[in-house]
Amino acid sequence: MRSYRDIEFKLKKSPRKTTSIYIERDGTVSVLAPEPYDMEKIEQILEAKRSWIYRNLAEWEDLNRTRVEREFVNGEGFPYLGSTYCLQIVDDAKHDLLLKNGLFILKRSALSKAKDKFVAFYKEKGKARLPRYVEQYAGKMGLQPTGIRVQELKNRWASCSANGTLNFHWRCMMAPLTAIEYIVVHELAHLKHPNHSLEFWHTIEKVLPDYAQAKSWLRLHGAGLEL
């Protein structure tokens, strides 16, 4: 972590030519800047964005009061595609974890690795579904990523690599389909517009006229999509 006056931030390398500031999902202030770093310029941007940073940090604190800490016990609810399914722990099952008849069925012998089993479940579902959504919207937008990955992305829903690969957090599969579609279109738009410019948002709006609703849902409920 670095600091400028009373602002603590993480400085990250960016493949873009401009410097951007983000509030990560864990409340960290991240500065994405091209190398070699121009610290004087970065500090000028932080100073200019001071009010924006603290307003968004205050909003982050309010929204994260809804954060859920789930336990791997009978009756606990786990989200998938926007719906919540209760967990049932059983002594005997064919698979360690299975979604069946409206329940997540977890074999008791796999209980010590329950989190890993859920992560694997979301990754598997993401690898099966997300390429279909990407193909659908890439065709509409006239864009083509070089690859798709589903992985742990720490504090982001998704990212677009400099080489055109789209990376999705496995937690995306907890969200409703409308939110997933927004995440997909958002990252596809970055293939054309690296920054969140007006043209970037217009590109999304052409494909998803109601994208603001999905964006708002993620902002309000995203903190609850945790294990």
Tens digit of pLDDT for each residue in 84-99? 999 999 999 889 999 9
More confident residue, 171 or 62: 171
How would residue 189 be classed by pLDDT, with cut points 50, 70 and 90? very high
- The pLDDT > 90 percentage for the chain reads 59
Q: Return d(Cα 130, Cα 132) in angstroms, integer.
A: 5
How would residue 22 be classed by pLDDT, with cut points 50, 70 and 90? confident
pLDDT above 90 (res 219): no
Q: What's the pLDDT score for residue 57? A: 83
Say whether pTM exceeds 0.95. Answer: no
Ordered domains of the chain (ranges, CATH): 2-66 (no CATH), 113-224 (3.30.2010.10)
Q: Which residues contact 102 (CB under 8 A, 6 or more apart)?
A: 85, 86
Q: What's the pLDDT score for residue 195? A: 83
How would residue 71 be classed by pLDDT, with cut points 50, 70 and 90? very high
How would residue 63 be classed by pLDDT, with cut points 50, 70 and 90? low
* Helical H segments across 49-113, by residue range: 50-63
Whether omega before 15 lies within 30 degrees of 0, making that bond cis, reads no
